[in-house]
Amino acid sequence: MFAARSAIAAGLGVLLVVGGAAAAMRTPGPAPADSFITDGDGRALVQHGFSTASSSKSVPDGMPDFTEDQLVQEQADMGTNFVRFLISWRKVEPSPGDYDQGYLDDVEERVGWYEERGYHVMLDMHQDLWGSGITPEGDNGNGAPEWATYLDGFPVAHHDQWELYYLEPGVIHAFDNFWNTTGEHPELTDHYAGAWRAVAERFADDDAVVAYDLMNEPYGGTVQGPAFEAGPLTALYQKTVDAIREVDQDSWACLEPQALGFNWGLPSALGAVDDPREGDPRIAFCPHLYPLPMDLGDGFSGPSRDMVETTVAAWRSNTLRTAEALGGVPIILGEFGLDTTLPGALDYVDLVYSTSDASGIGIAYWSRDPGSWGPYEVDGTPRNLITVLDRPYPRAIAGELHTWNSGPDSLEISVTPDSGDGAEPSEVYLPAAGFPDGGVVEGGELVSWDPELRILRFTIDGGDDGEQTVVVRPS
């Protein structure tokens, strides 16, 4: 009976995605994003990095299987400047009201690796299937502590496909208790916001940590769609932002939509969140992208390719529309990825990056784990993904950044220059393959070239022409 419901749900999902994508394609496409997370000098930051890493989800210490030497190699091979670093509620608050400072010390140590190399960090409170307490073995879900897991006798059957656990009565009930749909546990969201407050208190003065991803792939239990996003999800985000602002006025709060549906290209009903900080709000939108054919294991070829291309176009439209509805906020694609041994996989990765470049969206690829989805084999051997991710991109731009176009041996940047005096130089990353000796700047003036980090710094020509194009070509 339950298997039949699962099949029906999958079938309805296909129909919804096709219908939603087609509707989005029939409507005018929105303009690219017009705001970005900024650094201390006011430069627009473009995120180019990984989620690091899935290996942290269920291990006792909550730390990814990732070393400082591996970070050095990543930066050398792909010029990354950003990490979406996974943390978990179970480790932050192992018992009610008790915040594990030793765990936060471990996180802070890893953040230091990134800070030393000029990266920016977004801490991601990760969960999948609620938490490890959904099964006796503890090897399925991750994120929430066991003390916050209330199944109330509802069952959780075994599945080979992990997503199907979301349809299990026990998992649904655990989420219903968290969102207080049951009316039995109003304290759980307070604890969650308190855990974020403890994290923010630790990292408020850490210049490397620029953002907090408030919840990975939210799931509403028995409440789904607009009712969930506009209701309990928006309310949780508001409560959490309020708690963070008690101790941290500067870091950005990143909101994810409901994963079920939006990841497949459907619209979002997420409500706007008021930021109580002094000055302009620092709210960002951080959706994920997993087209349904790929969720089901297909590559980027044949009929699946057509459907995925349509999904990506719909996702772009709905992402830009949601960001505008939230107040014209910056966008980071917090997760996308696939098994890169599948047919057409690298073409798909290039499609997503090209779409994001043309939309003003930064990216954290899923994930930094070794294997077929990642950039390296288990033994550290580079994989095919590196050839696509080692691409030129704008790291930090002084002025109003709009979009950019990355080619093998060119980088075009659409920007309205900063008209103020003394603006910090802009920065771009230029891979060795297309720019062996650095680059020359059309529409700007070279300041410096770092051949080790492959970072070119330049100023942008001023003037009264408003938006202009800066082109970087090989020297």
Name the pLDDT band for 421 (thresholds 50, 70, 90).
low
- 144 and 274, same domain (yes or no): yes
Which three-class secondary structure state does DSSP give residue 469? strand
Q: Would you state the pLDDT for residue 16?
A: 45
Q: Looking at the predicted structure, is the pLDDT value of residue 465 above 80? A: no
Number of domains in the chain: 2
- 132 and 240, same domain (yes or no): yes
- 94 and 242, same domain (yes or no): yes
- 147 and 15, same domain (yes or no): yes
Tokens standing for residue 130: 């609620």
User: Does residue 460 lie in a domain region?
Assistant: yes
Contact 362, 401 (CB under 8 A): no
- 454 and 322, same domain (yes or no): no
Q: Looking at the predicted structure, is the pLDDT value of residue 263 above 80? A: yes
User: Does residue 376 lie in a domain region?
Assistant: yes
Q: Does 142 or 24 have the greater pLDDT score?
A: 142
Cα angle 400, 412, 83; round to 5: 70
Taking only the tens place, the pLDDT of each residue in 354-403 is 999 999 999 999 999 999 999 999 999 999 999 999 999 999 999 999 99
Q: Would you state the pLDDT for residue 419?
A: 72
- 344 and 415, same domain (yes or no): no
- 322 and 449, same domain (yes or no): no
Domain edge (last residue) among 353, 372, 390:
390
Q: What is the CATH number of the domain that holds 470?
A: 2.60.40.1180
User: Does residue 40 lie in a domain region?
Assistant: no
Rounded (10°) angle between helices 302-325 and 345-357: 20
- 249 and 226, same domain (yes or no): yes
Name the pLDDT band for 12 (thresholds 50, 70, 90).
very low
Q: Would you state the pLDDT for residue 140?
A: 93
- 449 and 422, same domain (yes or no): yes
Q: What is the mean pLDDT of residues 68-76?
A: 98
Residue type, 264: W
- 273 and 306, same domain (yes or no): yes
Q: What is the CATH number of the domain that holds 112?
A: 3.20.20.80
Lowest mean pLDDT among 100-104, 235-239, 420-424: 420-424
Q: Would you state the pLDDT for residue 99?
A: 98
Name the pLDDT band for 28 (thresholds 50, 70, 90).
low
- Any idea of the CA torsion for 316, 51, 119, 415, to the nearest 10 degrees? -10
Name the DSSP class of 387.
H
Cα angle 233, 205, 241; round to 5: 15
User: Does residue 299 lie in a domain region?
Assistant: yes
Domain edge (last residue) among 360, 390, 420:
390
pTM above threshold 0.75: yes
- 360 and 403, same domain (yes or no): no
Q: Would you state the pLDDT for residue 15?
A: 41
Q: In the sheet where 426-429 sits, what is the strand order?
A: 44-45, 393-397, 426-429, 455-460, 444-450
Domain edge (last residue) among 390, 411, 426:
390
Percent of the chain clearing pLDDT 70 (strictly above): 93
Which three-class secondary structure state does DSSP give residue 72? helix
- 377 and 416, same domain (yes or no): no
Contact 169, 156 (CB under 8 A): yes
Domain that holds residue 57: 2-35+45-390
Taking only the tens place, the pLDDT of each residue in 184-231 is 999 999 999 999 999 999 999 999 999 999 999 999 999 999 999 999
The alpha carbon of residue 117 and the mean position of all alpha carbons in its chain are separated, in whole angstroms, by 20
Contact 38, 353 (CB under 8 A): no
Name the DSSP class of 126.
-
User: Does residue 26 lie in a domain region?
Assistant: yes
